Chains A and B, each alone.
Chain A
Amino acid sequence: MTDAQLPTAVHPLRAHSPAISASRARRWGSFFYAEQALRVMRGYGWSVFLYSVGQPVAYLFAMGIGLASLVDANSAAVFGGVSYLAFIAPALLVSSAVMTASGDFSYPIMDGFKWRRVFYGPHASPLVPQQIAAGHIMASALKFLVQSVVYFVIVAMFGASPSPWGWVSAVVATIAGLSFGLPLMAYASTITKDAGQFALVQRFIVVPLFLFSGTFFPLDSLPIGVRWIGWISPVWHGTELGRVFTYGLEESPVLTLIHVLFLVGAAATGWTLTRRQFVRRMGA
């Protein structure tokens, strides 16, 4: 018997069975969709990078150095004894994540359901609507984190984060982005007709939150009548929590806990409502 020399087996291209596709999708589907979202973002890689570097540098120069030279000379005590730059750096970090979130969780959701209907492509695959929502969220969260880390590094280079725990503020900013963004995503996924809702959100929610959340001055210095804006604002809770980490803002541990619970609670509620709305809108 001779061992015939078989030609090297050329493996014909074969997809794995549908059963394997389905079980992998059930387990990893959210990550598969996150991969798509990240690939799309890669197309904008440069603008994301420039935004996350350019914006902090511009703000830190203008506010932290220009404005700070006046503020520090006159009223340093108001800002907890730290430089004005150190005071506003965590606020800018959080605001930046929240503003990115206001973009990522509004128009792209309309696009997915209505304009270019991009959610319906994966919906015809083994993925389920909850996974499409989760994948979108995970990819954006990763983007916030990368952006916040870059932002934090620049803040640190400006010497505006004296505490060794300062880096935690990048994580806080990411969570703040989600705690604002996920309720917005839940709302965006209910919209069937674009009537300029997102422009209103931008003008009447995002901008006031940015201005009245203890960003540029302590919330206490506002009249009591508008302080509530800060209390319900992910920007305020995120900023104060960030300050605890970057320069050791002294506040009651209960208040610190409230910041954490508020941020996580808002994000979790938003996520739950989003999942429900995605399933309702797309069917099982």
Chain B
Amino acid sequence: MEPIWLSIKLAIITTIFLLFIGIPIAYWLSRKQSIFKLIIEAFITMPLVLPPSVLGFYLLLAFSPNNAFGIWLHRHFDLQLVFSFKGLILASVIYSLPFMVSPIKAAFAHLPGSMSEASYVMGKSKIQTFFYVLLPNIKPSVFTAAVLTFAHTLGEFGVVLMIGGNIPGETKVASIAIYDAVETMDYSSANSYALILFAITFVIVIGVFVLNRNAVKSPFE
């Protein structure tokens, strides 16, 4: 069961990181438009459309212990990001970023402008308005985004394969373990991993639908 636990651990850590990074980015993107923001948003969205191998390839190059950046990370932070769990976390954070940012950004943008104006007029700062008015009113979207990020990270395969490899207990997550088991004709292991992954993901998706049953739109729009 080690690969399943590793997948869950990776998904939880990635989701927590992305909550802290994604919410401020989403808020910033939902404010006034600019060319610069458009470009940043395009970069954030790229993992949605690119094959994971592209991202994995560039991360592999960037973090390679043979490259300047990789050497620098290793020397100053003792960080070895290729073929390590830490590297998987970083890759997952980049790879799942659009799943966290897009729904939250849309939710911020849908709040009427007068809502924050009403708070400013009452003498409240932008930060106070953010925490007392804006964020509480998009809670369902934040929750949906977190759950989708979790599920998406759980199902990650290509990026992990590229930069994580297949080290038991370190980078051998469930999706890789399935692939590995099929390669070695161990269909019963593959089946048990696949079934568990299927069950977990199914429950998560059902949960999202139940929580959003009052919403007009599907949470995946």
Q: Do A and B come from one complex?
A: no
B residues touching A (Cβ–Cβ < 8 Å)?
Answer: none
A residues touching B (Cβ–Cβ < 8 Å)?
Answer: none
